[in-house]
């Protein structure tokens, strides 16, 4: 779909996206890039990064891929340094890396729980923390969250806890870094989004149908819907938005279809 935003709203900006090689992270990378930003994507899998960078470059976007795991502080620091070396600055940090699998709490080991907290919550904090020195010069942060924890979601105890922590740190950083440095920190909480690992791995077909039926807008979300929310928050359109997590789910969480 064609973007409703002008093509130059992020001209001269530099965006770094964790989990930017696939899914929602990639889509946000592509839309930030199409609207003028240079793009660095971070991920664990080289082949995924390589093909994402080729795809971004074929759209005319100035893009690089940097291998790294958000669970490792030294990787976070190196990836941010490389972004600065390549592009000279960092304006937009998008934390989209996430771990997930469907498992009843009874069968989830504490280490499995910790692994997802490590990726989603601590990984997000680590990236924000390492990027702060550059974001102080005028940057913004977008944390990708979820709506799982607004009520409770079957077999997602680990991710629900992790995303609740992400929302909380979005607010705390918005308060502290907004006040001290003018850094806006916001989140996006996607609902079920077509063609993502989240949905293919987590939602069986009958639940997908229920999600569609429960949505006030009677459809699943598209990655594009999330990318448009990111453009709003990253651009001057979102200049007075700080500390909020924007729910982009067509209203599905209001009715919480039983999974």
Q: Which residues bind ligand HXC (CB under 6 A)?
A: 98-101, 103, 108-109, 111-112, 115-116, 146, 148, 159, 192, 197-198, 201-202
Give 137 or 219: the residue with its C-beta nearer to ligand HXC.
219
Least spacing, CB of residue 132 vs ligand HXC, in Å:
25
Least spacing, CB of residue 154 vs ligand HXC, in Å:
11
Give 46 or 137: the residue with its C-beta nearer to ligand HXC.
46
Give 55 or 197: the residue with its C-beta nearer to ligand HXC.
197
Least spacing, CB of residue 111 vs ligand HXC, in Å:
3
Give 28 or 98: the residue with its C-beta nearer to ligand HXC.
98
Least spacing, CB of residue 204 vs ligand HXC, in Å:
12
Helix (H) or strand (E) segment spanning residue 246 = strand 245-248
Instruction: Let me know: does 51 contact 102? Beta carbons within 8 Å.
Output: no
Non-local (6+) Cβ contacts of 47 within 8 A are none
Give 139 or 192: the residue with its C-beta nearer to ligand HXC.
192
DSSP 90-157: --EEEE---------GGG--HHHHHHHIIIIIIHHHHHHHHHHHHHTTT-EEEEE--SGGGS--TT-H
Give 65 or 139: the residue with its C-beta nearer to ligand HXC.
65
- What is the rounded distance in angstroms from the CA atom of residue 206 to the CA atom of residue 212? 10
Site of tokens 């969480």? 253
- What is the rounded distance in angstroms from the CA atom of residue 117 to the CA atom of residue 123? 8
Burial (Cβ within 10 Å: 0-12, 13-18, ≥19) of residue 26 = buried
Closest CB to ligand HXC belongs to which residue?
99
Q: How far is CA 153 from CA 34, 117, 177, 239, 247, in A?
A: 35, 16, 32, 33, 16
Least spacing, CB of residue 175 vs ligand HXC, in Å:
25
Least spacing, CB of residue 44 vs ligand HXC, in Å:
8
């Amino acid at each position: 779909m064609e973007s409703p935003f002008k093509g130059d709203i992020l001209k001269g900006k530099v965006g770094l996206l964790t989990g930017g090689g696939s899914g929602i992270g990639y889509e946000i990378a592509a839309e930030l890039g199409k609207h003028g930003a240079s793009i660095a994507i971070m991920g664990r899998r080289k082949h995924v990064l390589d093909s994402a960078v080729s795809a971004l470059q074929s759209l005319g976007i100035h893009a690089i891929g940097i291998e790294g795991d958000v669970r490792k502080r030294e990787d976070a620091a190196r990836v941010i340094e490389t972004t600065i070396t390549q592009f000279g600055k960092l304006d937009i940090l998008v934390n989209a890396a996430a771990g997930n699998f469907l498992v009843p709490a009874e069968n989830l080991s504490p280490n499995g729980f910790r692994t997802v907290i490590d990726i989603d919550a601590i990984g997000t904090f680590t990236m924000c923390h390492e990027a702060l020195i550059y974001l102080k010069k005028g940057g913004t942060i977008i944390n990708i969250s979820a709506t799982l924890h607004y009520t409770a979601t079957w077999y997602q105890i680990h991710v629900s806890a992790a995303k609740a922590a992400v929302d909380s740190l979005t607010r705390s950083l918005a308060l502290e870094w907004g006040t001290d440095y003018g850094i806006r920190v916001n989140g996006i909480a996607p609902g079920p989004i077509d063609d993502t690992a989240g949905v293919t791995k987590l939602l069986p077909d009958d639940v997908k149908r229920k999600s569609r039926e429960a949505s006030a807008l009677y459809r699943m979300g598209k990655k594009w819907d999330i990318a448009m929310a990111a453009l709003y928050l990253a651009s001057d359109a979102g200049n007075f938005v700080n500390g909020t997590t924007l729910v982009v789910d067509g209203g599905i969480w209001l009715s919480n279809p039983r999974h």
